[in-house]
Amino acid sequence: MAFRDHLGAAQIESAPVSIIHGMWEHSRASKHALTVFDNLIESPGQRAAVNILTRDRLCEAIGISPEAYIDTLGWAMQNPSEPVIVDASEAECFENIQESVDITALPIPHHWPQDRGRYSSASVIIAEDNGIRNMSFHRQFVRDSNHLVVRLVPRHLRTMTMKARASGGEVNIVVVNAPDPVVLLAAAMSFDDNIDELTIAAALHEKLYGKPLRLTRMPNGVLAPADAEYVLWGRITGENDDEGPYVDITGTVDDVRQEPVIEIDGVVHQRQSSHLPRPDSWRSRA
Catalytic positions: 248
Q: Give the 3-state secondary structure of the chain.
A: CCHHHHCCCCEEECCCECCECHHHHHHHHCCCCCEEECCECCCCCCCEEECCCCHHHHHHHHCCCHHHHHHHHHHHHHCCCCCEEECHHHCHHHHEECCCCCHHHCCCCECCCCCCCCEECCCEEEEEECCEEEEEECCEEEEECCEEEECCCCCHHHHHHHHHHHCCCCEEEEEEECCCHHHHHHHHCCCCCCCCHHHHHHHHHHHHHCCCCEEEECCCCCEEECCCCEEEEEEEEEEEEEECCEECCCCCEECCEEEEEEEEEEEEECCCCCCCCCCCCCCCCC
Can you give the length of the chain in residues? Answer: 286
